Amino acid sequence: LTGTSREQRAFQYVLAHAIPGDPHHILQTFDQWCYRCEHLSCVGPDKGRIVERVLLERAPLQVLELGTYCGYGTVLLAQALPPGARLYTVEGDPQHAAVAEKVIRLAGFSEQMVELIVGPSEEVIPRLREKHGLMKANLVFMDHWKRCYLRDLQLLESHQLLAEGATILADNVLFPGAPHFLQYAKTCGKYHCKVHRASLEY
């Protein structure tokens, strides 16, 4: 009725209530909106703690996020990165990317630290090295279309974009589910797999 998207309404709420330059408070404000007003498919606070723990354990310097959506996961990742790290985040929907860009900059992250790339992941991944300067990702966070998980993992492999010992963190592999990705990860012999039990966001 308002002519604005759910994501834009959420951003307006964040803009009105969150402290600029405070990533933690921006995430909390998103959570308040999602609990009280409208559901967004963000990582959320429960799974967010798992993501933060993995980042603290791994301390990756080159991070790739597939599925920026409205920037919640991007801010979550960026705030937990070690000094000197760089985050590349890929979003296929230009309208979602426009919201995410504002959220990321509102949180205080520069383009030097967080680069938002707009386009389909299958087109962006082959260009990551020569166009965007990503040599080898130490950590990949997958939170886009589940049907694309396996294809994009294999694209990253074929373009040699995964550093030795890289961590692949994939959301919602059990529900809604990414069975082909999960089967490949468990049986191809390249990865040690661990399933983190969590509830759905909000």
Residues with catalytic function: 143, 146, 171-172, 201
Task: Provide the residue count of the chain.
Answer: 202
Cβ-based neighbour number of residue 21 at 10 Å: 12
HEC string for 57-125: HHCCCEEEEECCCCCHHHHHHHHCCCCCCEEEEEECCHHHHHHHHHHHHHCCCCCCCEEEEECCHHHHH
Does residue 70 contact residue 97 with C-beta atoms inside 8 Å?
A: no
Cβ-based neighbour number of residue 74 at 10 Å: 29
Distance CA 72, CA 5 (A): 16
Cβ-based neighbour number of residue 8 at 10 Å: 17
* Residue 148: partners with Cβ closer than 8 Å, 6 or more residues away: 66, 121, 122
